[in-house]
A and B are shown apart, each in its own frame.
Chain A
């Protein structure tokens, strides 16, 4: 897939397709830098990749109908549930080499809906990788 305008992204939480309620997705895949620098002639630092942290921020439109955002997410947060999360660039195509799917087991660590008069009800939630498998890009 070449350069694209993000319009067809697929977002699924605990099996529920919430694509039409999502307007932004941002993954975070970060490894801690562990300094193992020793004395050396150049003075350059040496680092090793340490602990890995993975999370996904998704901006949702607040929606309170059956099977919509609140109905799906609140219970996942309240009950500390581990569930599946999926995101891929194109919902009209299956996952593949040009449409890799970012997925894994997740926990919902923050959930904070709110509202501002006259503005679209929109807020961000953060899903964190729940187990040692982490999030990964899959192509099938």
Chain B
């Protein structure tokens, strides 16, 4: 999921010029849109699991345990 800014004079995927939107675009489609000046990438996010945001079931070994 990335955040884009519509920089062209026409709407892009129904997002008006000057607005931002989040989307997962096909790499080729994104490349073409950027090359035409339709959009620019503001932020790329990679899904991550933050420490402490999850818990393994009881009895499962952790990284610090040996089988």
In the complex, A54 has a CB within 8 A of chain B: no
Interface residue range, chain A: 10 to 19
Chain B residue with the shortest CB-CB distance to A72: B36
Point out the residues of chain B lying under 8 angstroms from A81, CB to CB: 28, 32
Chain A 57-96 near chain B by CB (<8 Å), digits 1 or 0:
0000000011110011001000001011000000000000
Point out the residues of chain B lying under 8 angstroms from A9, CB to CB: none
Q: How many residues of B are counted as interface, with CB atoms below 8 angstroms from the partner's CB atoms? A: 15
Tell me, in angstroms, the Cα distance from A68 to B9 when the chains sit together.
8
In the complex, A14 has a CB within 8 A of chain B: yes
In the complex, A18 has a CB within 8 A of chain B: yes
Chain A residue with the shortest CB-CB distance to B35: A75
- Would you call A66 and B9 a contact (CB within 8 A)? yes
Point out the residues of chain B lying under 8 angstroms from A14, CB to CB: 29, 32-33
- Would you call A18 and B32 a contact (CB within 8 A)? no
Chain A residue with the shortest CB-CB distance to B16: A17
- Would you call B29 and A15 a contact (CB within 8 A)? yes
- Do A17 and B12 contact each other (CB < 8 Å), given the known contacts A66-B37, A67-B37? yes
- Would you call B32 and A75 a contact (CB within 8 A)? yes
Point out the residues of chain A lying under 8 angstroms from B8, CB to CB: 16, 66-67
Point out the residues of chain A lying under 8 angstroms from B12, CB to CB: 15-17
Nearest chain B CB to A105 CB, angstrom units: 10
- Would you call A12 and B14 a contact (CB within 8 A)? yes
Point out the residues of chain A lying under 8 angstroms from B13, CB to CB: 12, 15
Point out the residues of chain A lying under 8 angstroms from B14, CB to CB: 12, 17
Q: Which positions 3-55 of chain B face chain A at CB distance < 8 Å?
A: 8-14, 28-29, 32-33, 35-38
- Would you call A67 and B29 a contact (CB within 8 A)? no
Q: Which of A12, A17, A67 contacts B36 (CB 8 A)?
A: A67
Binding site for A on B (CB under 8 A): 8-14, 28-29, 32-33, 35-38
